[in-house]
Amino acid sequence: MSMKTKKQATIFVVLVMLVLGSVFMTGCIGNDGTEEVRVEGSSTVLPIAQSAAEEFNDEHDDIRVTVSGGGSGYGISGIIEGTIEIGMASRSIREEEKEKVPNVKEHTVGKDGLAVIVSETLHNEGLTELTQEDVRKIYSGEITNWEEVGGPDEDTYVVERADTSGTYGVFMDFMGLEDTVADSTQQENSDVRRTVAGSDYAIGYVGLGYIQDDAPAVKLDGVEPTFENVADGSYPLFRELYFYTDGEPEGATAEFIDFVMSERGQEIVEEAGFVPVDA
């Protein structure tokens, strides 16, 4: 190969690398020529991203945002592995994860309270309030009968999230737990709610946007998990909700994040049952 040919080949490789780098930073190009932004992770953040993506996609012919769940761990690992543009998480990225993606950027898109929910039967029989210590002892196995916390003489049935969930991590840290005696482990917030609702004497925890009448929330240390109480900081069990990107977002990725942080995007956060960043 001549020197001229070698030089041309080197220039071609550099150009290909630059193009690929640009694609990974801004999104990937679909078969129809649209720029795709892949969003994956936390089931808590999922309804925010889904609703935002639906409106965003309606307004953009050249960009397609796709959203899927799986848990905060999957969202962060997707950023580390470079398989997605935005990782959703309901917990902060850990130090050991940061080491694998040193240029990671954190974008707070909303706030959430973790609601402790119980079966409707329990609630109707007077169990409407628990303390943090009550909840910790129920999950650790120190309390195994509802009578010990003012409920009926029935065994506890403990439901938790999978350990890939950011909700799980926040709950465990807040309660000072390393392990639990959970009778049931569920992948999504909605699965926890359905499991608690389907039992007479169960307890679980979900994001604020997943509270429903068939699995009512209890007061925690005398405070209800409401929008107002999370916004003013009086409800003790709350966290921020995040988008993570590998480096400063550009192109379509930046456009979608800007939309979520816009006035309309933050209205979507509230409509999904969560608390806007500036509330």
Query: Would you list the domain boundaries of the chain?
Result: 3-110+240-271, 113-238
Quick one: pLDDT band at residue 29, thresholds 50, 70, 90? low
Out of 26-35, 132-141, 189-198, least confident range: 26-35
Whole-number mean pLDDT of the chain? 90
3-state secondary structure of 271: helix
- 212-253 confidence digits (pLDDT tens): 999 999 999 999 999 999 999 999 999 999 999 999 999 999
Query: What is the third-level CATH fold of 113-238?
Result: D-Maltodextrin-Binding Protein; domain 2 (3.40.190)
Phi-psi category of 82—alpha, beta or left, where left has phi over 0 and alpha has psi -120 to 50?
left
pLDDT value, residue 31: 57
More confident residue, 223 or 1: 223
Q: Enter the pTM of the model.
A: 0.78
CA–CA gap between residue 209 and residue 197 (Å, rounded): 16
Give the SS3 label for residue 26.
helix
For the chain, what is the radius of gyration of the CA atoms?
22
The CATH classification number of 3-110+240-271 equals 3.40.190.10
Short-list 209, 272, 186, 137, CA closest to 199: 186
CA distance 174 to 211: 20
> Among residues of the chain, what percentage have pLDDT more than 90?
83
- Helix, strand, coil shares of the chain, percent, nearest 5, are 40, 25, 35
Q: So what's the pLDDT on residue 28?
A: 62
The answer to whether residue 22 scores a pLDDT higher than 50 is: no
- Whether 146 contacts 156, CB under 8 Å: yes
Residue 209: pLDDT band with limits 50, 70, 90: confident
Q: Do domains 3-110+240-271 and 113-238 have the same CATH topology?
A: yes
**What local confidence, expressed as pLDDT, does residue 5 receive?**
45
- Identify the weakest region by mean pLDDT among 12-26, 67-81, 219-233: 12-26
Say yes or no to pLDDT of 12 above 90: no
Strands 202-207 and 104-118 turn out to be antiparallel
116 confidence band (pLDDT: 50, 70, 90): very high
Q: How far is CA 183 from the centre of its chain?
A: 23
- pLDDT confidence of 32, banded at 50, 70, 90? low
Phi, psi of 17 (to 5 degrees): -65, -40
* pLDDT tens by residue, 164-200: 899 999 999 999 999 999 999 998 999 999 999 999 9
pLDDT at 145 exceeding the cut of 90: yes
pLDDT, position 181:
97
The pLDDT assigned to 17 comes to 38
What pLDDT sits at residue 21?
43
